Structure 1
Amino acid sequence: MAFAGKWELETQEGYDAFCKLLGIPADVIEKGRDYKMVTEVTQSGEDFTWTQLYPAGARVSNKFSVGKESDMETIGGKKFKATVAMAGGKLSVSFPNYSHTSEICCGKLVETSTSGSIVLKRTSKKL
């Protein structure tokens, strides 16, 4: 149940380069750069609901069970099927253009998205 709760973004590294790689427009990148994104996670055993609240009221919510294929959606609205794995306390999943891991380190939610040599690392504090 370590992931459960509400988390607010504290720091992010590689934001601009990662967003450009995904083709996000410059004005949207600018709006999101200093936005304190909130992530809400509910967890019941291996079943999760993972919701991220973005600028201008945008919201992406994915429900999944560890080890089972689930319907997922990206912030851009792209729908895909993926299987979330858990190993060593880390959740990992492959999105269409990148891989993503989430873990709890020192009481913080650390999310790392990687596409080739471009890495976006976000650290959030629990609210």
Structure 2
Amino acid sequence: MVVKMRKEVKPVIVIEQKGKDFTFTMKTPVCTKVHSFSLGQESEMESLDGRKFKCTIREEKGKLITETAKFTSVREIQGEDMVETVTSGSVTFISRSRRV
């Protein structure tokens, strides 16, 4: 269900940075999620379906890398797109977002 929703919904994502502190806001017709974190420090996040998890986010060569016990997410800017690659075990999901 989450994968189907993720394919059909076009979220608006706003990433704000102040030094090592970030605020990541995802707005959809269903909900708005706001996550704040500092690079290199463990943070608690909440998935779109409401599950909470802990992760550490680091920056490496211009990429934001999120690691949890269950998945790894890599976000990077490629031209006018933000590309997110999520890997869990042998499964990989790639999402492209266009800058507006």
Q: Give the Cα separation in 2 of the matches to 1:34 and 1:81.
A: 27
Q: TM-score, normalised by structure 2?
A: 0.85
Provide the residue aligned with 1:115 in structure 2: 88
Provide the residue aligned with 1:69 in structure 2: 42
Contact 1:40 1:51 in 2 (8 A): yes
Unpaired segments of 5 or more residues in structure 2?
none
Q: Which of these two proteins has the greater Rg computed from alpha carbons?
A: 1
- Distance change in 2, residues 1:55/1:118 (3 Å): farther
100-109 vs 75-84, which moves further: 75-84
Which structure ranks higher in relative contact order (CA pairs < 8 Å, sequence separation ≥ 6)?
1
Cα displacement (A) at 1:79: 1.7
* Structure 2 residue 61 is the aligned partner of structure 1 residue 85: no
Aligned residue pair count: 100
Cα displacement (A) at 1:95: 3.5
Q: RMSD over aligned Cα, in angstroms?
A: 1.8
Contact 1:72 1:79 in 2 (8 A): yes
Q: Give the Cα separation in 1 of the matches to 2:58 and 2:34.
A: 18
Cα displacement (A) at 1:60: 1.9
Unpaired segments of 5 or more residues in structure 1?
1-24
Provide the residue aligned with 2:24 in structure 1: 50
